[in-house]
Amino acid sequence: MKILVCISHVPDTTSKINFTDGDTKFDTNGVQFVINPNDEFGLTRAMWFKEKQGASVDVVNVGGAETEPTLRKALAIGADNAIRVNAEATDGFYVAKQLAKVAQDGGYDLVIAGRESIDYNGGMVPGMVAGLIGANFVNTCIGLEIEGDTATAIREIDGGKETSTTKLPLVVGGQKGLVEESDLRIPNMRGIMMARKKPLNVVEPVEASGETKAVQFEKPAPKGDVKLVSPDNVQELIDLLHNEAKAI
């Protein structure tokens, strides 16, 4: 089985978010970049398929040279090969078109991408890749087993979960649950050394249009101070929520 894991290069979850150039660009100054957490759950599940079922695992990212350390980290975790599509990831549809090309050229059986990146939260890349290559698709996937060409997937739905069966080729929108937080791997020294020797192929993008564009950013308005209520007077909280906040 050939697996492709799509890796988005995103600011660490603790990053302070700021913008530059008249609030038109994300300010990367002092920001630590990591593998998108939703992708990392998928990558770790892919490692399981590699170790238990002999799958091969490639990772791919659409981005400039600055994203290579993130791909190297994925290699250090255990992926076999990395591919970087040398283009700016301007819009989810554009990224999906690039990934679809890589997925098609490589003849992958399973493509895993995070259900969304934690920076733009577009939540469209895995579904669009599936639509573009005509593969089956399961989003918000929290459990995945594969036997031969049949997959059993569990999807998180509002208020519960749903189990389905489908055939490969399959695209999965991954998230926590594919593996547990405690299953995530920190690359060891041997992994890091080996990752330096593994192939990282840079390919040029296919001609494609972006369909959306983030033209302006803004930060939420600063919040007023919290109104404190005495623990001996919870009735006051109810009155405030009812009369002032109109929330109950």
Partner 1 sequence: MSVLVYTESEGGKFKKAAFEVASYAKEVANMLGTTVTAVSINGGDSSELATYGVDKVLEVKDDKLSGFTAKAYADVLKQAAEKEGAKVVVVSSSADSKFLAPLLAVGLNAGYASNVVALPESASPFKVKRTAFTNKAFNITEISTDVKIVGLSNNAFGLKESSAAASAEAFSPSLSDADFGVSVTSVDKAADKVSIADAEVVVSGGRGLKGPENWGLIEDLADVLGAATACSKPVSDMGWRPHSEHVGQTGKPVASNLYIAIGVSGAIQHLAGINASKVKVVINNDPEAPFFKAADYGIVGDAFEVVPKLIEKLKEFKSNNA
Tokens encoding 38: 């939703």
Tell me if 98 contacts partner 1 by CB under 8 A.
Answer: no
Nearer to partner 1, 112 or 138 (CB): 138
Check: CB of residue 5 under 8 Å from CB of residue 48.
no
Nearer to partner 1, 123 or 191 (CB): 123
Which one of residues 48, 86, 87, 122 is an interface residue with partner 1 (CB under 8 A)?
A: 122
Which one of residues 1, 31, 194, 237 is an interface residue with partner 1 (CB under 8 A)?
A: 237
Tokens encoding 229: 């209520």
Instruction: Scan for tokens 């009735």, then name that residue.
Output: 235
Question: How far apart are the C-alpha atoms of 113 and 132, rounded to whole Å?
Answer: 14
Query: Which residues lie below 8 Å from residue 29, measured CB to CB, with a gap of 6+?
Result: 18, 20
Check: CB of residue 75 under 8 Å from CB of residue 195.
yes
Tell me if 14 contacts partner 1 by CB under 8 A.
Answer: yes
The stretch among 14-22, 58-66, 103-111, 194-202 that binds partner 1 (CB under 8 A) is 14-22
Letters for 23-62 (x = contact with partner 1 by CB under 8 A, - = none) are --------------xx------------------------
Rounded to the nearest whole angstrom, what is the least distance from the CB of residue 69 to partner 1 in the complex? Answer: 21
The stretch among 66-74, 76-84, 101-109, 116-124 that binds partner 1 (CB under 8 A) is 116-124
Rounded to the nearest whole angstrom, what is the least distance from the CB of residue 207 to partner 1 in the complex? Answer: 15
Q: How many residues does the chain have?
A: 248
Residues 61-90 within binding reach of partner 1 (CB under 8 A): none
Query: Which residues lie below 8 Å from residue 159, measured CB to CB, with a gap of 6+?
Result: none
Residues 157-216 within binding reach of partner 1 (CB under 8 A): 157-167, 173, 175-177, 181-182, 210-216
The stretch among 48-56, 68-76, 194-202, 240-248 that binds partner 1 (CB under 8 A) is 240-248
Nearer to partner 1, 63 or 127 (CB): 127
DSSP assignments along 18-44, one per residue: -EETTTTEE--TTPPEEE-HHHHHHHH
| 3-state secondary structure (DSSP) of residue 85 | strand
Rounded to the nearest whole angstrom, what is the least distance from the CB of residue 116 to partner 1 in the complex? Answer: 8
Instruction: Scan for tokens 């238990």, then name that residue.
Output: 52
Check: CB of residue 134 under 8 Å from CB of residue 27.
no
Nearer to partner 1, 51 or 239 (CB): 239
The stretch among 47-55, 66-74, 104-112, 228-236 that binds partner 1 (CB under 8 A) is 228-236
C-alpha angle 68-93-83 in degrees, rounded to nearest 5: 25
Question: How far apart are the C-alpha atoms of 89 and 82, rounded to whole Å?
Answer: 17
